[in-house]
Amino acid sequence: MKNGKAWYDTDGNVIHCHGGYIIQYDGYYYWYGENRLDNNYVSCYRSKDLKTWEFRNHVLTTDSKVEQLRFNMTTDLFKTDGVGNKIKVNIERPKVLYNKRINQFVMWAHYENGRDYLEAKCAIATCDTPDGDFVFRGAFNPYGYMSRDCTLFEDEDAAYFISASRDNADLHIYRLTEDYLNVDEHVRTLFQGEYREAPALFKKDGMYYMITSFCTGWAPNQGKFSKACAIGGQWTSLKNFGDETTYRSQPAFVLPVSKNGETKYYYFGDRWGGKGKKYFESTYVVLEIKFDENNDPYIIYEDEVPDFI
């Protein structure tokens, strides 16, 4: 498997799982990501070795069931034009966590109306299996704030939703409620005026790391990282991660993989667009994250996708 080349599922179809996220559940890795073909929003694939991917389901589509979670949430999964045609909304950067308290898989994503990026909402969908038909629960502005590029991060004692706010100028960290169905506290505003997008968080040896891109639409730019001893504490100033285009990719997420008592951390990025592809389609770039003598993370480009397992 090569970085930046099309990857195929076990049926021989191109994998559409852009801006995605991977979780481990019941012996499998489940990969969720954007799929804008037909009436799809989010597709799900699963694998045991992170290389052989079986398509499971289009877990969120224009036809998904809708059950409003709370008063005043936007529940449109499509708009209708003047002559009755369905216009898709935008669902971007879907991330999923399993919540054991409610025994539900909870998806958070970025939601826009399909015309522009001005709603800047986060959306929630839930399902009782990892790859079943998710129910759309609606979209909202957390504490009234704009919320665009986003991610989830599950810590030992709580989970967090991180999203770009104030027209992408700042990045907010929200702690989630115990059921992961709402924000419980706006914990921190990071990188004031730095316009960071595409956040990806991970934790290694008690240290929190966040990788982000700059805000240049779908064009790649210099990745940066920051680290902190506590998620709501002081984060370091931004430092470069990867080269000036992050090897022509934008962060999607970081996956820790443990093998024989050792954990390795893998950067998953999207290389958006490219020859013959729509700007919102990507190929994937996966690189092992290494750490220098200051425990600062770095990546070195390789053509071949690493052997995970």
User: Which residues have CB under 8 Å from 89's CB, separation 6+?
Assistant: 76, 77, 78, 79, 111, 112, 113, 114
Position 20 contacts ligand DGJ (CB under 6 A): no
Position 220 contacts ligand DGJ (CB under 6 A): no
Compare residues 99 and 212 and give the one whose CB is closer to ligand DGJ: 212
Q: Cβ–Cβ contacts within 10 Å for residue 189, how many?
A: 14
Tell which residue, 108, 106, 78, has the closest CA to residue 94: 108
Structure tokens belonging to residue 51: 């290389």
Compare residues 66 and 219 and give the one whose CB is closer to ligand DGJ: 219
Compare residues 143 and 218 and give the one whose CB is closer to ligand DGJ: 218
Q: At closest approach, how far in Å is the CB of 107 from ligand DGJ?
A: 16
- Contact between 36 and 78 under an 8 Å Cβ cutoff? The reply is no
Which 226-255 residues touch ligand DGJ, going by CB under 6 A? Answer: 250
Residue 185 DSSP SS3: strand
Compare residues 170 and 175 and give the one whose CB is closer to ligand DGJ: 170
Q: At closest approach, how far in Å is the CB of 229 from ligand DGJ?
A: 27
Of the candidate residues 75, 218, 236, 295, the single one contacting ligand DGJ (CB under 6 A) = 218
Mask for 72-111, x = binds ligand DGJ (CB under 6 A): --------------------xx------------------
Q: At closest approach, how far in Å is the CB of 150 from ligand DGJ?
A: 9
Structure tokens belonging to residue 258: 């443990």
Tell which residue, 275, 270, 282, 266, has the closest CA to residue 246: 270
Compare residues 87 and 229 and give the one whose CB is closer to ligand DGJ: 87
Q: Which amino acid is at 108?
A: W
Q: Which amino acid is at 229?
A: C
Compare residues 111 and 208 and give the one whose CB is closer to ligand DGJ: 111
Mask for 194-213, x = binds ligand DGJ (CB under 6 A): ---xx---------------
Position 149 contacts ligand DGJ (CB under 6 A): yes
Q: At closest approach, how far in Å is the CB of 214 from ligand DGJ?
A: 10
Compare residues 98 and 225 and give the one whose CB is closer to ligand DGJ: 225
Q: How far apart are CA 102 and CA 252, in angstroms?
A: 27
Position 19 contacts ligand DGJ (CB under 6 A): yes
Tell which residue, 100, 105, 101, has the closest CA to residue 127: 105
Compare residues 198 and 211 and give the one whose CB is closer to ligand DGJ: 198
- Contact between 50 and 29 under an 8 Å Cβ cutoff? The reply is yes
Structure tokens belonging to residue 149: 């590029």
- The DSSP annotation for 105-167 comes to EEEEEEEE-SS-S-S-EEEEEEESSTTS-PEEEEEE-GGG----SEEEEE-SS-EEEEEEETT
Q: At closest approach, how far in Å is the CB of 19 from ligand DGJ?
A: 5
Position 8 contacts ligand DGJ (CB under 6 A): no
Q: At closest approach, how far in Å is the CB of 179 from ligand DGJ?
A: 27
Compare residues 98 and 111 and give the one whose CB is closer to ligand DGJ: 111
| Strands lying side by side in the sheet with 170-176 | 150-154, 159-165, 170-176, 183-190
Which 267-296 residues touch ligand DGJ, going by CB under 6 A? Answer: none
Interacting residues with ligand DGJ (CB under 6 A): 19, 92-93, 149, 197-198, 217-218, 250
